[in-house]
Amino acid sequence: METFKEYNFLSPKIIQALEDIGFLSPTTIQKKVIPFLLKSEKDIIALAQTGTGKTASFGLPIIQKINLELDYPQALILCPTRELCIQITRDLCCYSKYISLMKIIPLYGGVKIDNQIKSLHNKKTHIIVGTPGRILDLIRRNELHLSNIKYLVIDEADEMLNMGFKEELDSIMIKLPKRRQNLLFSATMSKYMNVIAHSYLMDPIEIITGKKNIGSDDVKHIYYISNPNKKYLALKRIVDINPDIYGIIFCRTRKGTKEIAESLIQDGYNADALYGDLSQAQREFVMNRFRKKKLQFLVATDIAARGIDINDITHVINYNLPDESEIYVHRSGRTGRAGNTGISVSIIHYREIRILREFEKKIGKKFEKIMIPSGKEICQKQLLHFIEKVKNVVVDEPSITKFFPDIQKKLESFDREELIKRFSWIEFNRFISYYNNYEDDINNEIYSSKIDSSMIHVKKKKYFVKSKKLKKESFSKLFLNIGYKDHLTKLRLINLINEAVSTKKSRIDIGNIEILSNFSLFEVKKCYQKKILMGISKINHFGKPIFIKIKN
């Protein structure tokens, strides 16, 4: 197997940085692009599936070729979203961490421009990574000068025009020197790529791995058929049948994204939403939680999910199908990355089968139909998964031994079978109780009369669950020292409560929520009061300690 170390054209410092992050062997696209860029000044169009290492393909040669003695930007990398801008910057900094003089600055919207201007003034910048809008804004303020740019990279080039950046790109190009190398990178060859190539490139060389617009071989494509008003129920069954799922749920609209995330949180799942209206601080907060696996599900729109580069995402779920096959390729490419396998799931109506068949033809992959799992199948899968975890757990003998006599004494009246039943019930009463209330098969049109209509129509979901049987006296009102000025939303508050209590056994009964400017008030069932007071007081919100107390 060929390794980066065998590449005699990459500097030892770059090789050392790659080894530190576990990059030993180049991917197919890297094998083709890196040597070419190091010896040629020609423009290129590089097409490769997502997750195959495109950032390193252009990043490593550019880092190698930068003249550190010059004190002006020599490379400009344009990308469509803030998340992708941050991700590329993070990667380039990792690749160049042993090159002490290298300076890389990200420039994107959603944050104060004054701080970015200070960074430009205070640093001898070599590489700029930015979104078109913010780059153009800085140019117009005469704070960013690109007259010495030697290398221009347009990443996710097809998405640039799809998001309406043509005018900004044209304005930026005018400020760049004519003698430069242009590099276009994308996962798909759409009509937008042809427009960009014709407008900005000179006699480009195409470097393609695999076939154009083809999905990754490491991703399995499956679909479930559901009635539209049962789609949310189907989603819950799909995630419940996969105990170790860690994934992204794609929705078409911001409103749908928020509603699905709120519904999942309310039903006890560890989820949050990512969409365009969030501030940059909020988006980074959500992404950091997802990247650190403090969130199991990220519910996102297509635009917000650009630049999510996490190698161990197990599933991508298309709650709504995209309009174009190219977008589907980008979505499914969030999983099955860096040699891992993944699953792309679509929840569709019968009328959408035709769209899937078109996708099959265009991306060259077969979609497998799967029946929505029954409650019995889910409970069995979850129970066996739990038993497997028990079998494989490594016990810290010294720590548990001192408590073991007391444990034995407490449990001596139970036989082996009774103990297994009780421990299993503690872990699985939520699943069993929930699925006992529903008809076992939701693949047909008949539902039990026990189904709560608010569970079927996501739009009717509330931010809180208040049982009619609960009296007002059973609730406590709590005060928090953070409000909407601290980026607190009802959705995020529910997340904080779930994180504080850390219960999977039942849904927490939450009463009224009131988010004010500098503080918030909310009601919870009294039996959770102590846990919430202790749990939330240990949590920082955007770096701010949380003060919580009972409101009299």
C-alpha to C-alpha distance for 509 and 523, rounded to whole angstroms: 9
Structure tokens at 537: 């007081």
Longest dimension (CA), the chain: 85
**CATH of range 219-374; options 3.30.230.10, 3.40.1650.10, 3.40.50.300, 2.60.120.10:** 3.40.50.300
Q: Which of 51, 116, 65, 131 is nearest to 95 (CA)?
A: 65
Helix (H, G, I), strand (E, B) or coil at 338: coil
- H or E stretch covering 250: strand 247-250
Q: 409-433 b/e with 16+ CB inside 10 Å = b?
A: eeeeeeeeeeeeeeeeeebbebbbe
Cβ atoms 92, 70 nearer than 8 A: no
Q: What's the pLDDT at 510?
A: 82
For every residue of 423-437, DSSP letters joined together read HHHHHHHHHHHHHHT
Q: What's the pLDDT at 135?
A: 95
Sequence-separated (6 or more) residues with CB below 8 Å from residue 335: 219, 247, 248, 313, 314, 315, 316, 342, 343, 344
C-alpha to C-alpha distance for 310 and 333, rounded to whole angstroms: 11
Q: What's the pLDDT at 456?
A: 32
463-550 CATH: 3.30.70.330
Question: Which residue intervals of the chain bear CATH 3.40.50.300?
Answer: 4-208, 219-374
Q: What's the pLDDT at 473?
A: 64
What pLDDT digit, counting tens, does each position of 452-489 carry?
333 333 333 333 444 444 455 678 888 898 887 777 88
- H or E stretch covering 157: helix 157-162
Residues of the chain short of pLDDT 50, as ranges, are: 445-470, 504-505
**What secondary structure, in 3-state letters, does 168-232 show?**
HHHHHHHCCCCCCEEEEEECCCCHHHHHHHHHHCCCCEEEECCCCCCCCCCEEEEEEECCHHHHH
Cβ atoms 501, 528 nearer than 8 A: yes
**What secondary structure, in 3-state letters, does 20-40 show?**
HCCCCCCCHHHHHHHHHHHHC
Q: What's the pLDDT at 458?
A: 35
Residue pointed to by tokens 């495109």: 54
Helices (H) and strands (E) in the chain, counts: 22, 20
Sequence-separated (6 or more) residues with CB below 8 Å from residue 468: none
Q: Which amino acid is at 378?
A: I
C-alpha to C-alpha distance for 101 and 271, rounded to whole angstroms: 40
Question: Which residue intervals of the chain bear CATH 3.30.70.330?
Answer: 463-550
Q: What's the pLDDT at 214?
A: 56
Neighbours of 34 (CB within 10 A): 23
Structure tokens at 8: 């005699």
Neighbours of 375 (CB within 10 A): 20
C-alpha to C-alpha distance for 55 and 47, rounded to whole angstroms: 12
Spell out the long-range contacts of 429-436 with Cβ–Cβ below 8 A and sequence spacing 24 or more. Answer: 429/505, 430/268, 430/504, 430/505, 430/506, 431/240, 431/378, 431/379, 431/382, 432/379, 434/375, 435/375, 435/376, 435/378, 435/379, 436/375
Q: Which of 407, 418, 40 is nearest to 207 (CA)?
A: 40
Q: Which of 302, 82, 32 is nearest to 185 (CA)?
A: 32
Looking at domain 4-208, does it have CATH number 3.40.50.300?
yes
Q: What's the pLDDT at 457?
A: 35
Pairing of strands 44-47, 181-186: parallel
